[in-house]
Amino acid sequence: MATLPHDDVYQLIREPIDVAALARLVRAPEDGAVVTFDGFVRNQSHNRATLYLDYEAYESMALAKMREIGIQIHGKYRVHRVAMVHRLGRLEIGETSVFIAVSAPHRAAAFDACRFAIDTLKRTVPIWKKENFADGAVCADVELPPAPAATPRAKPAS
């Protein structure tokens, strides 16, 4: 794994994410806490069974944005190391899509930084998720899936 200043890691990969190795990588003797976020593929979305997900990214910009998030984290929180890895391609149910690990001397900074990392990544990094269902697919956060047949439609406002 390539490292950057602060021994941080920012990657987009197409193979399974080794969450244990990343958690070990950020941990050091001067730290008192490692907080992790493990985002993985669930088996349903919008009341429909999910078959699998596809992730795409504008890779050079996504990596640059991930590094920017790391710089912000080091500026805002007293942390030691950050690892932020997102998977691309087809992911099956239960597979990790995004993993973030933050080490710090104290737990509060590690928790706050890890939450900031995932929230900011979701808002700013150009990575797109396509949800695949038995009856079609939608780009998450872009298209609304069709309502299941049993769901009543809302009445228009009067």
Burial of 87 (0-12, 13-18, 19+ CB in 10 A): buried
pLDDT computed for residue 79 by the predictor? 97
Determine the pLDDT at residue 2: 40
Q: Write down the residue that tokens 């697919």 correspond to.
A: 137
Q: Please state which of the ranges 23-32, 108-117, 136-145 shows the lowest mean pLDDT.
A: 136-145
**How confident is the prediction for the chain on average, in pLDDT?**
88
DSSP-derived 3-state class of residue 100 = strand
Q: Report the range of poorest mean pLDDT among 5-9, 11-15, 128-132.
A: 5-9
Tens of pLDDT, residue by residue over 99-130, are: 999 999 999 999 999 999 999 999 999 999 99
- For residue 158, the model assigns a pLDDT of 47
Please, what's the b/e burial string for 121-143 (b: 16 or more CB within 10 A of its CB; e: otherwise)? beeebebebbbebeeebbeeeee
The residue extents of the domains of the chain are 9-136
Domain 9-136 has what CATH class? alpha beta
Q: Which of 110, 129, 120 is nearest to 28 (CA)?
A: 110
Mean pLDDT of 8-19: 98
Per-residue pLDDT at 36 = 98
> Mean of the pLDDT values across residues 49-55?
93
What average pLDDT score do residues 137-151 get? 56
Please give the residue that has the higher pLDDT: either 56 or 138. 56
Q: At CA 57, angle to CA 54 and CA 60, rounded to 5? A: 155
The burial class, CB within 10 Å (0-12 / 13-18 / 19+), for 118 is: middle
Q: Is the pLDDT confidence value at 30 over 60?
A: yes
Q: Look at residue 39 in the predicted model and tell me its pLDDT.
A: 97
Say what the pTM is: 0.84
pLDDT at residue 125 in the model: 96
Task: Report phi then psi at 99, rounded to 5.
Answer: -135, 130
Please say if the pLDDT value at position 89 is more than 90: yes
